[in-house]
Structure 1
Amino acid sequence: MLTVPNTRYFSTFSKLIVLGMLLCASQICGCTSYLQRDTLPILDCEDCAETVKVVTVPLPVIASSPNEGITTGALAAFLIHDKKDEINTLLAPQINQNTNFGITTSLYGAFYPAPNRNLEFNLSHSTKINYDYEARFKDMTLLKKKLDLNLFAFAFADGSARFYGFNAKSPQQEETNYTDQEIGYNLAAGFPIGEHFQVVIGDRLRDVEIRRGAVKKLPYTGDEFTVAQVPGLKGFTAHTLRLSLIYSTLDNRDTPTRGGYAKLSVEPSFKELGGVSEYRHYEAEFKGYIPLDNARYISIFRLMYNQTLGGNVPFLEQSILGGESSLRGYGRNRFIDNSFFLCNLEERIRLFRWEIFNVTADWEIAPFVDLGAVMESLDKANLDNFEFNPGIGFRAIVRPNIVGRVDMGIGRSGPAIFVGLGYPF
């Protein structure tokens, strides 16, 4: 599985913005200001007027996740608009408290200087173990809009990581904790083939260290398992290349309402590139969006299959399910094996369109079902191993590019709640 931590910034700003949006009804005081463009040196906006609209929204932080526990705190979100009254820049300093990580301060920023170019960053540091420094750059304007460039660079430490063992029957009683400390990048360049096809060439590097975790009530993974049992338990380096073929008729990249999407990928790891061992990832993904009543109702499905082949594959490089974008009834990385099959069904229902703090948002409710299992290979799949996770999501969408969400899924161990930015798929 391509276990690039490209959603790690959810553990900071994303965990707060959605719940903050849902708490807007509590009449928290926000304000709108109009400032001269030259007084905002950070602003890079082709479509901004000389007088810029800035909406300031103070919000509380109340978040919970299966691995990290409860987080509380506060933030101030600054939303800078362009001439079309769309958000061009978003800045959000925040401070929060968590029993496991102490006090965390962070700054999240998102810049949309042009319709097909954006930059995001997250700077976060806790008093106990955790830190997160990330930057993500997307540009679809290069080579006369024929090159789709994506770069994600990161350095983080997550003291809430869990390991239960391998295969679909790994028991809850074997839960252990460790700190996942990583540094690396993920680079991808896409080239169009015809109207709806794209070839993507990628390069991915991650250097991983495994240390004692922050959750003291759980045993340390390194005390319960050996390197012979869990490859990569003492740390590892992964350096892989990737080749993907994508077919897409989606009407929007970030907030699609109709169309289809298919992706076939192969990602080999070579020792000559500095990887710890040689193995290969194969992945197939299919998604469909079916709108009704002028997109007030959108039925979505996703099917995925991932296979990892090779020897001595590090445990965090194998096929993994669990978390906000796969099985939402469990925490991140709950199930690990050589392959997985996943099916997500979701009905996104727009309840109403509401303007609050001078920002217009669509408010959605999204009942869903997640069905999936890890296995040695697809021909050895066992129906008894599949996890059935029903749940419900609540979404606030500021079009065309911002989605805040709260998803609650129910697994065999009870409910799990995830808060984040962007749709889960």
Structure 2
Amino acid sequence: PRDRDQVFFVNQGVIPNIGSRKWLLPKVQGFDEAYRDIASFNFNARYFDRLFLTGLSLKDWQTAAHELKTSLSDAEIENAVRKLPEPVFKTSGPTIIANIKSHREHLLQDATEYYLFLAKEVNVVGSDKNEQFDVVRQDDENTRITVRKINKDGELEQTLYERNFKTSETKEIRLYGLGGNDVFNLSGNVNKGLKIRIIGGEDNDRITATSHVGGIGKKTFIYDTRQGNELNLGSESKNFTSADTTVNTYDPHAFKYDYLGPLGALGYNRDDGFFIGAGFSTQKQGFQKDPFASSHRVLARYAFLTQSFRIDYQGYFTDIIRKIDMQVNVDMRTPNYAENFFGLGNNTTFNADQYKNNQAFSYYRYRSKQYYVNALFGSKLGKHHSFLLGPAFQSVNVNFVRNDFLSDNRGTIEENPDLYKLKNYAGLEFRYTFDSRDAAMLPTKGNLIRAGASAYKGITPTASDYQQISGEWSFYHTLRIPLKLTFGNRIGGARNFGNYEFFQANVLDGNTNLRGYRRNRFAGGSTFYNNTDLRLRLFSFQTYLFPGSLGIVGFHDVGRVWEESEKSSKWHRGYGGGIWIAPVNMFILSAEYAVSRETKMPLLRASFLF
């Protein structure tokens, strides 16, 4: 076996301890007195164990654990460890002995816990020969599955698989016939039972499913091609036969762990100052649902400089109706949420030297309460394409502050009372995405195209109708010279139609598409921007804590806005550079310094701009 020197791996320290948590790298928990989570600790064996250990019952696991526990005496453990070289034993021997004895005492508990993890969803896999799968729902707790070989004469021969499943332990069983002319028989009437999925496989199969399970919802699901198979299905069965042959796919490496982990945000920009955020992310796996059945992401953020609070929720549900997915987005901004407004147009002026400190710059800030919700439905088209379409709702209420830029230029509450009244909008949104990047966080090649269109109708007296179209294209290419140099370029723009409000204008700013400028610096009916990055990876590294990469980046941005009431030929530019680090090559931390003709500003973020 490989890596025998890592059997007694020691994981100490604050950062390594955090890194070994279930939501990050649980397989590096280390050899302590007990496993924090045995299921995730066995991550490297996730495919092997689910393929070769499916025939064992809880009694089998507990019997093996008991036999091993009783056979490992204190003397045998101590004698074995004392064979380590004397300097090693003197340093680590007593701790290793104590930990082995502790693991021995936890053997039965660990075996039971790991069995229940494997038993939750079980694959029973046939072969490319002919087999008969017999499933009997014996009672509310027990379901018996037997797999036997069918010879060339159609007669049953030896038993290949046999196990009794318990409803209290197992939620779902998947029977894969693979190749051959297989026979599936499912019978028995019970009040409650586990889910049975029959995936017939290639060739011509005969499926008889007449069992019945009480309660709401069906518990038997049939997957196969529509042609060449004989089906005899009762009312309990749900027929998912299809002309698509991929319905029969068996992937021994398809298993993924469910996920629940924390989210954090930390950064700095000139407008928000330092901001922090906290939340959580979850992913739930499901049968033939890639990359997950559902995901939820909640993040709350607070900006200290502006005392602004914001909560985002993103939910995604795969195949909620056949091949139709659903995405839900919620964006809530508190009644005192701060945004910048410099006026509409490409030639709006701003004297950065005059408004260096936060108190002076507050002249350009307006406060509001905003809510945004949508529920989009769509599907994936092949490997790279996806589209979403659905209803959306927007609510905005702008606060009135006397003697700020907004009231001085758009009118006070006495002069323009409608500006400060609640405005609600209901509409329809469409989104299209093409994504062929090799990685989302640290792409080195591929393309990302996003396009969208929306139409909103004002549903309160002071809200007007408006429409918007937008799109952007990012592409990446990497050269080795000999260092790894990635060229990234993004082209994008947007256009509004109708009577849109100032807070619905398309914008250029340093946070999204024009580095070196304040947030919402230029706003108008139409925008165009181009971003260019040169990202040079200086080296990869491997530390005691984590592997990763470190590099530098140089960038140049250009863009402008158009407003009907203005004529302008000016283009705005920003440029700069910075350093980035990719811990575990899973996420990015970047520190950049951007320069424009208006100002110079640092940017700290947990990603690249695009």
Scaled by the length of structure 1, what TM-score is found? 0.68
Aligned mates of 2:462, 2:437 — CA distance in 1 = 35
Structure 2 distance, partners of 1:240, 1:205, is: 6
Distance (whole Å) between structure 2 residues aligned to residue 87 and residue 346 of structure 1: 35
1:265-319 deviation per Cα after TM superposition (whole angstroms, max 9, x unaligned): 22111236999211211223222111223992211111112111112x1111111
* Separation in structure 1 between the aligned mates of residue 350 and residue 467 of structure 2, nearest angstrom: 29
Distance 1:255 1:239 in 2: 36
Q: Which residue of 2 aligns with 1:32?
A: 17
Amino acid at match of 1:309: F
Pairing of 1:220-369 with structure 2 (within 5 A): 221-226=406-411, 232=419, 234-271=421-458, 276-293=463-480, 296-311=484-499, 313-355=500-542, 358-369=545-556
Are 2:365 and 1:180 aligned? no
Would the aligned equivalents of 1:296 and 1:349 in 2 still touch at CA under 8 Å?
Answer: yes
- Structure 1 contact 242–266 (Cα < 8 Å) conserved: yes
Decide whether aligned partners of structure 1 residues 96 and 424 sit closer, same or farther in structure 2, where only a CA change above 3 A counts: closer
1:422 aligns with 2:590: no
Read off the aligned partner of 1:134 and give its amino acid letter: D
Summarize the Cα distance change of 1:353–1:237 in structure 2 as closer, same or farther, 3 Å threshold: farther
- Contact 1:240/1:270 (8 A) holds in 2: yes
Query: Would the alpha carbon gap of residues 110 and 352 (structure 1) be closer, same or farther in structure 2, given more than 3 Å must change?
Result: farther
- The partner residue of 1:150 within 309, 317, 327 is 327
Q: What residue is the counterpart of 1:200 in the other structure?
A: 388
Residue 168 of structure 1: CA displacement?
Answer: 1.0
User: Structure 2: how far apart are the matches of 1:107 and 1:284?
Assistant: 30
C-alpha contact 1:328 1:407 (8 A) present in aligned 2 = no
**What one-letter code is carried by the residue in structure 2 that aligns with 1:298?**
T
How well do the aligned residues superpose, as a CA RMSD in angstroms?
A: 4.4
Distance 1:274 1:352 in 2: 59
Q: CA deviation at 1:29?
A: 6.4
Separation in 2 of the partners of 1:108 and 1:381?
A: 45
Counterpart of 2:281 in 1: which secondary structure? strand
Partner AA of 1:260 in structure 2: N
2:278 to 101, 107, 126: 107
Per-residue displacement from partner, 1:182-228 (whole Å, max 9, x unpaired)?
A: 12224333323345433321433221122267xx9x93633553178
Structure 2 CA distance for aligned equivalents of residues 185 and 219 of structure 1: 29
**Aligned 8 A contact 2:578 2:590 in 1:** yes
What does 1:69-80 align with in structure 2 at a 5 Å threshold?
A: none
Distance 2:331 2:498 in 1: 26
Q: What is the total number of aligned residue pairs between the two structures?
A: 352
Contact 1:240 1:275 in 2 (8 A): no
- Contact residue 240 and residue 273 of structure 1 kept, 8 A: no
Determine the structure 2 residue equivalent to 1:162: 340
Counterparts of 1:400-415 in structure 2, within 5 Å, are 402-415=587-600
Distance 1:277-1:356 versus aligned 2 partners, 3 A rule: farther
Partner residue in 2 for 1:13: none
Q: When you count strand as a share of all residues, which structure comes out higher?
A: 1
Pair 151,125 (structure 1): closer, same or farther in 2 beyond 3 Å: same
For residues 400 and 527 of structure 2, the distance between their equivalents in structure 1, rounded to whole angstroms, comes to 28
Deviations along 1:17-61, whole A, 9 cap, x unmatched? xxxxxxxxxxx9634265799xx9xxxxxxx853659xxxxxxxx
Kept after mapping to 1: 8 A contact 2:547/2:585: no
Which stretch of structure 1 is more off in the superposition, 122-131 or 86-95?
Answer: 86-95
Task: Find the residue that maps to 1:422 and give its secondary structure.
Answer: coil
User: 1:50 and 2:39 equivalent?
Assistant: yes
Is 1:395 matched with 2:580? Answer: yes
Q: CA, structure 1 residues 244+325, in 2 after alignment: closer, same or farther (shift >3 Å)?
A: same
Identity %: 16
Q: CA deviation at 1:324?
A: 1.5
Residue 320 of structure 1 contacts residue 340 of structure 1 at CA under 8 Å; is this kept in 2? yes
Contact 1:163 1:333 in 2 (8 A): yes
Given candidates 183, 190, 203, the residue that maps to 2:378 is 190
Distance in structure 1 (CA, Å) of the matches to 2:576 and 2:375: 34
Q: Is the 8 A contact 2:400 2:420 kept in 1?
A: no
Residues 156-188 of structure 1: CA deviation (Å, up to 9, x unaligned): 236442211110111115952211321222433
Output the amino acid matched with 2:39.
E
Cα distance 1:212–1:49, how it changes in 2: closer, same or farther (>3 A)?
A: farther
Greater relative contact order: 1 or 2 (C-alpha under 8 angstroms, separation 6 or more)?
A: 1
Structure 2: gaps spanning 5 or more residues: 1-12, 27-36, 43-254, 286-290, 352-360
Code of the residue aligned with 2:342 in structure 1: it is Y
Matches of 2:544 and 2:370 in 1, distance apart? 38
Contact 1:231 1:314 in 2 (8 A): no
Displacement after TM superposition at 1:322 (Å) = 0.7
Q: Deviations over 1:362-409 (max 9, x none)?
A: 2232211110000137xx9844x2101012243333467533333332
The change in CA–CA distance for 1:155 and 1:120 in structure 2 (over 3 A counts) is same
Matched with 1:91 is 262
- Given candidates 350, 369, 376, the residue that maps to 2:563 is 376
Structure that is richer in helix per residue: 2
Largest Rg, 1 or 2? 2
Q: CA offset at residue 330 of structure 1?
A: 1.1
TM-score (norm 2): 0.49
Q: Is the 8 A contact 1:298 1:349 kept in 2?
A: yes
Question: 3-state DSSP class of the match of 2:507?
Answer: strand
